Amino acid sequence: MADLSKQSNDFKSAWYALLSELITIDGGGDISSARMLLISDVKVKIDEMMPEGEGVQFSVLDQTNITDTLDLYINALLDESATLLHQVAPIDFIVGKICTTAPVKTDPEDGTGYIELPTDYLRFKSLRMTGWLRDCVELIRPSDPKYKKQGNTVTRGGKAKPVCALSERIISSTLKKVVEYYSLDIGDSHLASKFIYIANVTAENVQANLQPALTWICAAKILEITQRPEEAQKAWAAMDKQFANL
């Protein structure tokens, strides 16, 4: 038993030493209970991916103080893991957020307009302007050949087949990201009956059914950082399986 305990401690010491070389962590302080639960889940998943004989049961102390170096590293990666999760998860499984920013008509008015994106915007889900016959569920970019067609009243999107584009505009002397919409009839009211987007949230605010995938992402990142590519690949595969089971 003493040998096993020594092996476990040696493994942890080597693990932490490698993390210290590869990751720079800013700040410190306490970790909230909600994040400690996620950290605990990440540790379990890391242990699951270890080869036979190398697994270590990483424990999470029942307190919010930072007492374990690995806690600190996982905590630092949780929010970027949450961002990645919301970028790669099937969009229909993510609960969206309502955008309340008012549409602005293009001047001079030609039936087009734009909506400034909120600061927590991460991903587009759907937009429906009042009068449109369907939702627009994808964004084009200015580099898309389809974007050039939106400058022509004959070839641009309309009520039956609307088009939305992610672009930038200078608003109050500041460059802002906006969604441009094409289009309405001249004289129509520019009102959005529904604009749903995916918000960028902290890890503890990820919806419950996506948290297993979140902790697999974070585990994969730790395994990559500590130069265990095979185990990291298995963790990414486990994330994909979580999506398949939703």
Q: What is the spatial order of strands in the sheet that 174-182 belongs to?
A: 104-105, 113-116, 174-182, 163-171, 139-140
pTM score:
0.84
pLDDT at position 31 is: 85
Per-block mean pLDDT, blocks of 10 residues, the chain (246 long): 51 60 57 92 90 57 56 92 98 97 94 97 98 97 96 96 97 96 96 98 97 97 92 96 90
Asked if residues 129 and 184 have their Cβ atoms less than 8 Å apart, the reply is yes
What is the C-alpha separation between 61 and 71, in angstroms, rounded? Answer: 10
pLDDT at position 151 is: 94
Q: What is the spatial order of strands in the sheet that 97-98 belongs to?
A: 97-98, 192-199, 121-129
What is the C-alpha separation between 84 and 200, in angstroms, rounded? Answer: 10
Q: Which two tokens stand for residue 224?
A: 């990559």
Would you give the end-to-end CA distance of the chain in angstroms?
41
pLDDT at position 47 is: 86
Contacts for 111-114: CB closer than 8 Å, 24+ residues apart: 111/153, 111/182, 111/183, 111/184, 111/185, 111/186, 111/188, 112/150, 112/156, 112/180, 112/181, 112/182, 112/183, 112/184, 113/180, 113/181, 113/184, 113/190, 114/167, 114/169, 114/178, 114/179, 114/180, 114/181
Count the neighbouring beta carbons within 10 Å of the beta carbon of residue 128.
18
What is the C-alpha separation between 129 and 188, in angstroms, rounded? Answer: 10
Cis peptide before 103 (omega within 30 of 0): no
What is the C-alpha separation between 190 and 90, in angstroms, rounded? Answer: 30
pLDDT at position 64 is: 46
Amino acid, res. 126: S
Burial environment of residue 66 by CB neighbours within 10 A (0 to 12, 13 to 18, 19 or more): middle
Asked if residues 188 and 212 have their Cβ atoms less than 8 Å apart, the reply is no
6-27 burial, b at 16+ Cβ within 10 Å, e below that, comes to eeeeeeeeebbeebeeeeeeee
